[in-house]
Chains A and B, each alone.
Chain A
Amino acid sequence: MVLDVKLNRRNFLKIAGVAGAATFGLGFGEPIIKALAQGTDAARDEKWVSSVCIQCPAGCGTKVRVVNGKAVKIEGNPDHPYSNGKLCPKGYAGLQLLYDVDRIKSPMKRTNPNKGQNEDPKFMEVSWDEALNDIAARLNQTRNEGKSHTVAFLSGRNQGRAGSVWTTFTKLYGTPNNIGHSSICADASKKARLCMDGTDDYCAYDWDNCNYVLNFGGATLEAWRPTNLMLQKWAHMRRGRPVRAKQVMVDTRFSTTAIKADEWLPVKPGTDGALAMGISQVILTEGLWDRSFVGDFKTPGRKFISGETVANDDFEEKWTLGLIDYWNNVLINFTPAKAGEITGIPAEQIIRIAKEFATAKPSIAAGERGAGAHTNGTYNHMVIHGLNALVGSMFAQGGVMYQMGVPYASSSLKDDDYLDDIAKKVAADFKAHTLERIDEAKSDEWPLASNVYQNVPDNHAKGDPYKLSMMFTYYTNPLFSNPNPQRAWEGFKDVFMVETSSYLSETALYADYILPDAYYIERKQDMAVYASSGYPVTGFREQAVKPIYDNRDSIDVIIDLGKRMGGKMGEYFTLLGNHENMLREIAKGFEKTPGDNGVNGFDSWAEKGAWYKKPYIYRFSNGNFYEWDGAGYNKEMKKAEEEKEEMKDGKKVKTTTVKDPVKDKLLKTKSGKFEFRSSKLEGFTDKQKEILKSELKSPELYAYPHYEEPHFAGKEEGFPLHMSSPKMINHAEGRGANAQWLQERFGVVIGKAWTSWVELNPDKAEELGIKNGDEVWVESPIGKIKVMAVINPGNPPWLVVFPFEHGHWNYGKYAKGLGANPNEIIANLSAVISAQSATNATMVKVYRA
């Protein structure tokens, strides 16, 4: 499974001898490969083990160099198509996290029942058996009291089998509360796409063939995942091919991406949708839309005229739906001048960008959290995504697509067969909406949201819909990463908490039990990549070193806990066995579908560290959709009628069904088209519509992409400055503040390290009497925090930038007490529809401390 390079003492001496000869005389007493010559026993057991990085969700394949049982280097896996032998800086830091002395070294039990920032948990070491038996007993008791739904599972990096194990555990136990933290990540763009083309996912992008990128708030060079691949593709688009692609960055701050882009559009915060609308209007009025995707006027050569309505009958749409309604209701008067007024970008520039974007094709309109983390974030992303349809980039060469799934074999063991009465009742109640999730995702308030993670503390505190009794956390830190986490500091005091982190996170400090996970280098796991390549890729994490402390892979721990629960649940988990069994089972799928690198089963997958299969199999071109037939995109995806003869009540009945492969596979909306008038939103129940509309300033436009005026916390109260809390390139998603290599160069652009800071525009700083390096208060309606001020000449005067990373109460000696956490002054606002946490929507004032 792993490549063994054994260098025994004899071989070693030979090599050293040759080196000596080759380099002798270059300098007197030259110490030849001194390290190799050191020590009496130079015999080495050396191997490179395949693994997958975990510092961000990208899933880059790595190779871990293990010498005499110690991991001494992490490099990119050349056989993994996201890594290509490379890693972003975070990838290398895995070693320092693995060997962090401050990791939790064995299961811990809290002995101080009081919880709070200043409470010592008085942790006591316990055995795995003792911890798991006690937790199983508590879970069973809660269940027998009819309160199984009050147990919640909060998770973040739910990679590979972790996702399925948690899902099954909650299902069999009987709680709907399997809650991910995607809503404090980037759900706005996903839900925008769901509303328009029916796919609830991030996009994949054909960067290699794209000529023009219009990026709304996706930090390509810092935090947009998969970072490593984004960096590689950026350089490739710059210098790696004959035609250089143009990069236009729409960003509120002078980010690394803005610095390196060909053009930076410094929009006012929350107005990305307005800019995209201005651009959309120009594309239509200039007659630059893609006729093969969008369709055309029946009168050839006719264009849209600003201010003039168009009759639905005059235009024949092709793969879109509702364009004319979109024009008549939304775009008609939204001129570049109007977009300019709102965004601060001059109208002439908007017109030029729109023309370039629509003519330099293939073009991509992309974006992520910068545009999404506002109260209007979902609508912003709908307008942005609409641009891809207008220029015909959906599934086109050089355009956007969706990541294909990995053909894992499915398990013969079905969890549905192991539901007992309690579990069945909870599932039925949840379906009937007589029982809601604690975060109320899927309720009438949030029918499309995947998670409303940030509302859990409030809902629990209010007891609405109920109070939680127990909470498990896996790769998530609600006491740190939530907006206004103070709510969780208070709210979660009375919840029995089980934390699986191997680091003393804020959540761990509230835990009643800590079941420390094995670090990723210490465990086996599968990891399908974050969307980007289109074609399917999945990495394999082999165990490179044994756990250094008494840590266990959480997936095996949950399986173990399931066994100890007894009953049907116990039966299921006993049959499931262990994590490795699951991996061996899914890998059987590769026997039928071997990867391009020859991976055809568990062993070869574990050895090479990646399975992938090129190409992406769908393609829109010249007005039609095609599927890959092995040689080219030759198989047209046409609607076809299928006749079937069936026996019904003893009679032969003929049924005809229409098969629409485009609708089934690509444009998964009700209409099978790309919808500018969303049937998903129009399909809301009256109650759901009423709730949504009550949140909108333009309720009549609820089903359309449009610029919805954003709401800012603190604006009315006179807080004058916008605040952005971005992730830097060295930010390992809230889990890297203890890594020295990352902290030493945390502010690459700003030239600061080992702390946090707030960036101010130079004129604004002067106006406020603040100098570089001064201590300042940053105050919002939520509270104030002290931090160092740094002048960034590139940022606009209306914005301060306060990166998210520090302010840990613990997390090891390096992280503890370092800097401040901007979340502590961010109001808990959410974007409509997606429930994306609107972390860019709090306004502040800054003054000298």
Chain B
Amino acid sequence: MVRYGMVIDLDRCVGCAACAVACKAENSVTSSTPEDYKNRRLMEWNRVVTVFKGKFPNVSASIMPLICNHCEHPPCVKVCPVDATYKREDGLVLQRYERCIGCKYCMVACPYQQRFFNFYDQKKKYVERFEKEAEELKKENKNVPITYLEIPYHNPDVPSRISGIVEKCTFCRHRIDKAIAEGKKIGSPDGVEPACTQACPAKTRTFGDLDDPDSEVSRLLRSRRNYQLRADLGTEPQVYYLD
């Protein structure tokens, strides 16, 4: 069996958040405005947090990238009343947007706060602002710039979301599925990787099949001390950290 997982080497991580930005770009995740930020409506499937210990002069800090852990025993899946969130055979914890009713149970159940409620219909939120201008330009028989009509840079491989649903990291399932379809190798270092893993300048992240003893992820887990976030909760995260 295939069981996908990720290993994050904190000794390599430089806290640059390239992973977080690459994730937003790759997965067409809604961009926020200052108001969204104030209202805690930031969508961050992938985020980087810093935790300080002590204070000057006896101070240290750890910088940690966080994503969905694609838990072996995902509490989010258990609580979903409509089977919108499910665990795929290859280990990915995924969301069926068309079934999700936005009850947010899964958000409460996730101990890692890795699920995000979509307050907006992405397209509507964006296009609404320019409707008037676009109309006027059309009336004047002028060219309407593409930026008025759609979010031009969204990844065509990832569907845009409607409002009222919950979303989260998919381990870039569109990449995995495409690789399967094209018969390509999957997993670090030389196979298809999720966007964050591919993007990371420090090669902090390694993605692959945890069930394959020869995979890079398995090799790393054997060779270095590693841990899972709140392993005591019994969620069995498939994202491991090295420090």
Contact = CB atoms under 8 A, between A and B. Distances in A.
Nearest to B29: A741
Contact of A235 (B14, B32, B38, B130): B14
A652 interface: no
Interface in A71-89: 71-76, 85-89
Given A745-B48, A793-B55, A27 B86 contact: yes
A235 B49 CA distance: 19
A753 interface: yes
A614 interface: no
Residue from B15, B98, B148, B204 with most neighbouring chain A CB atoms (10 Å)? B15
Interface string A255-270: 0100110000010000
Interface residues of B, number: 71
B204 A729 contact: no
Contacts of B25: 73-74, 92, 95, 741
Nearest to A763: B55
Nearest to B146: A548
Contact of B156 (A32, A35, A101, A743): A35
Interface string A322-362: 00000000000000000000000000000000000000000
A19 interface: yes
Interface in B117-175: 129-130, 145-148, 151-159, 174
Contact of B201 (A15, A86, A266): A86
Interface stretch (A145-153, A698-706, A794-802): A794-802
B103 interface: no
B158 to A, nearest CB: 5
B215 interface: no
Given A33-B181, A101-B147, A239-B11, A92 B55 contact: no
A461 to B, nearest CB: 35
B21 interface: yes
A29 B99 CA distance: 10
Nearest to A86: B201
B55 A89 contact: no
Interface stretch (A197-205, A657-665, A715-723, A754-762): A754-762
Interface residues of A, number: 85
B174 A35 contact: yes
Contact of B145 (A86, A105, A260, A748): A105
A729 B200 contact: no
B61 A254 contact: yes
B78 interface: no
A31 B156 contact: no
Interface string B200-212: 1111100000000
A256 to B, nearest CB: 5
Contacts of B216: none
Nearest to B242: A239
A727 interface: no
B199 to A, nearest CB: 7
B153 A259 contact: no
Interface in B58-81: 59-61, 63
Contacts of B90: 26
Contacts of B180: 18-19, 22-23
B18 A87 contact: yes
A26 B89 contact: yes
Contacts of A68: 156
A221 B177 contact: no
Interface in A774-795: 792-795
Interface in A353-388: none
Interface in A248-283: 254, 256, 259-260, 266
Interface string A204-237: 0000000000000000010000011001101100
Contact of B61 (A763, A794, A818): A794
Given A89-B17, A548-B145, A99 B153 contact: yes
Interface string B37-63: 110001010011110101111011101
Nearest to B98: A31
Given A86-B200, A794-B56, A19 B181 contact: yes
A363 B32 CA distance: 44
Contacts of A794: 52, 55-56, 59, 61
Contacts of A742: 21
Contacts of A36: 156-157
Contacts of B202: 231-232, 234-235
Please list the 4 inter-chain residue pairs (A to B) with the smallest Cβ-Cβ separation, ordered nearest first: A235-B202, A740-B31, A19-B181, A231-B201
30 contacts: A15-B178, A27-B88, A33-B174, A36-B156, A70-B152, A72-B155, A75-B22, A87-B201, A88-B201, A89-B20, A89-B21, A92-B24, A95-B25, A221-B16, A231-B14, A232-B203, A235-B203, A235-B204, A238-B12, A259-B63, A741-B21, A742-B21, A744-B31, A749-B61, A754-B34, A761-B56, A793-B55, A793-B59, A795-B56, A814-B33
